[in-house]
A and B are shown apart, each in its own frame.
Chain A
Amino acid sequence: MTKIFGGALGGLLLVAAPVLAHHSAVMFDDQKEITVKGVVKEFQYTNPHSWLLVDVKNSDGTVTTWGFEAEGPSTLTRAGIRKSDLMPGTELTISGHPMRDGRPAASWIKATRADGKDLDPRNGFAIK
């Protein structure tokens, strides 16, 4: 599996909690961060949350589809992330706080496309 990094981030309570204003984020482990490399399967650009589905090839040749949750379309637009930025087949590296129960899903922290474009959904809360 192309899992670049995964592990505990340390014991500080006040850092790096995901920003999910619509529902509690307790299902995600904000003390852990995973990073995977894969290709976009589908960008579900929906309210109240968007989901980026990413196919990740495992070391045994199988493929796991990961889901990365972010805020909805208006917040993503404010972050400069449009639906067309992540068309199916787009190669990227993406990191997030993983689910506590082990399912392949995470709250999306940051993604970088193969062409170098950074996509940070949390920038969508900046006032400008």
Chain B
Amino acid sequence: MFNSKKAARAAGAAILAGALVFAAGANAQQPKPAPAPSAEKQRMIDLGIAHKTAAGLYQYLKEQAHGGKPLDWRSVPDWTGVWTREASPFFWDPDQGDVTALPTAKLTPPYQKQLLEKLDRVNKGIEFDPLSNCEPAGMPRWLVEPFLREWVVTPAQTYLINEMQNEIRRVYTDGRDHPSKDDAYPLWEGDSIGFWDGDKLVIHTSQMRAGQYQRIQPAYSEQVETVEVWHKSDASTMTVDTWSFDPPALVEPWYAKQVYKKLSNDDKSLRIRYWDCGENQNNTVIKNDEGTSDFKNFTFTQKDDK
């Protein structure tokens, strides 16, 4: 379960990891390796490794499902309600767990170096997130952001909505393919196509922009592609098996299981509202001369009042 203390520790963990790596002198500690995967997780990791590309894994899953079966209005599953991610938003893979461990991704040397340098900057208090001014998180980061979510399933298209930055993913399940290579260009949420394997939604997403899995997680390149298998495993639990393929950044596909929980909303007070960083001047965050985050001008101080 995500709570404030866990989140604080999670943030501190990666910061500490960076500190440990870069601590000077012979006594410098190395962060702990990620915990060994369970047998089930290793099976999923191996499934990713067995395919050279995300498209290859997606095609394999489609063949296993005999092409999948399109939904009609009578077979649309009940994915209604208001949901949120279970784990701390600061971990892409919830199994990173330990507060002194590094992310579970197997990174290429340039991306590993980039991550450690970022953690070192964070440890020094130098951090700026483009999201601060409502830039979209974009896929695949979209998967791990906090706050409220809704899933809207229709026979031909599924809408995956995150409250944060009003980000909506559209998953086309009407049999269409991705745009041709010549017509493709980087998109915040990428281009998602999918099929239904019984009550599971299998998604292939390509055409994403470069970004970072989270502020204290690795970066991904424009070549990143993902495969997701969404399954409502019980009335209040949505599990998503996720593989990221990204040859410039990852030595092998990065597998993680994301879990979202349906929130109780008996009084119907939870509602998703539009986000606009310009709505309240006090929310204007700038990147200052040191490259870190700061508030611009407040409306309530004599110095700042504009």
Binding site for B on A (CB under 8 A): 13-19, 21-24, 26-27, 41, 44, 46-49, 51, 53, 65-67, 69, 72-75, 77-78, 99, 101, 103-105, 122-123, 125-128
- Asked whether B145 is an interface residue with its Cβ less than 8 Å from the other chain, the reply is yes
- 24 example contacts (A-B, Cβ-Cβ < 8 A) are as follows A14-B9, A14-B99, A15-B12, A21-B7, A22-B131, A22-B164, A24-B293, A26-B293, A27-B292, A27-B293, A48-B134, A48-B164, A49-B283, A53-B300, A65-B300, A65-B301, A103-B301, A125-B2, A126-B3, A127-B1, A127-B84, A127-B86, A127-B261, A128-B264
Question: Closest residue to B285 on the A side, CB-wise?
Answer: A23
Interface pair A13/B129, CB less than 8 Å apart: no
Nearest CB on A from B152, distance (A): 18
Give the total number of A-B pairs whose CB atoms are below 8 A apart.
Answer: 129
When distances are taken between beta carbons in the complex, the residues of chain B under 8 Å from A123 are 4
B129→A24 contact, CB < 8 A: yes
Q: Which of the four size classes fits the interface of chain B?
A: 35 or more
Which residue of chain B has the shortest Cβ distance to A101 in the bound complex? Answer: B294
Contacting residue for A47 out of B263, B276, B293, CB 8 A: B276
Whole-angstrom distance between the alpha carbons of A72 and B132 in the complex?
13
How far does the alpha carbon of A15 sit from the alpha carbon of B16 in the complex, in Å? 12
* Given A47-B274, A48-B277, A75:B263 Cβ within 8 A: no
B280 touches A46 (CB 8 A): yes
| Chain B residues within CB distance 8 Å of chain A | 1-4, 7-9, 11-13, 15-16, 19, 84, 86, 89, 99, 125-129, 131-132, 134, 145-148, 163-164, 215, 261, 263-264, 269-277, 279-280, 282-283, 285, 292-295, 298, 300-301, 303-304
Cβ 8 A contact of A51, one of B1, B86, B148, B282: B282
The residues of A that contact B270 with a CB separation of less than 8 Å are: 74, 77-78
A63 to chain B minimum Cβ distance, whole angstroms, is 11
Of the candidates B4, B146, B292, which one forms a contact with A24 in the assembled complex, judged by CB atoms under 8 Å apart?
B292
Whether B146 and A21, one on each chain, are in contact in the complex, defined by CB atoms closer than 8 angstroms, is yes
Q: A23: which B residues are within 8 A, CB to CB?
A: 129, 131-132, 285, 293
Q: Which of chain B's residues have a CB closer than 8 A to the CB of A18?
A: 8
CB distance from B234 to the nearest CB of A (A): 14
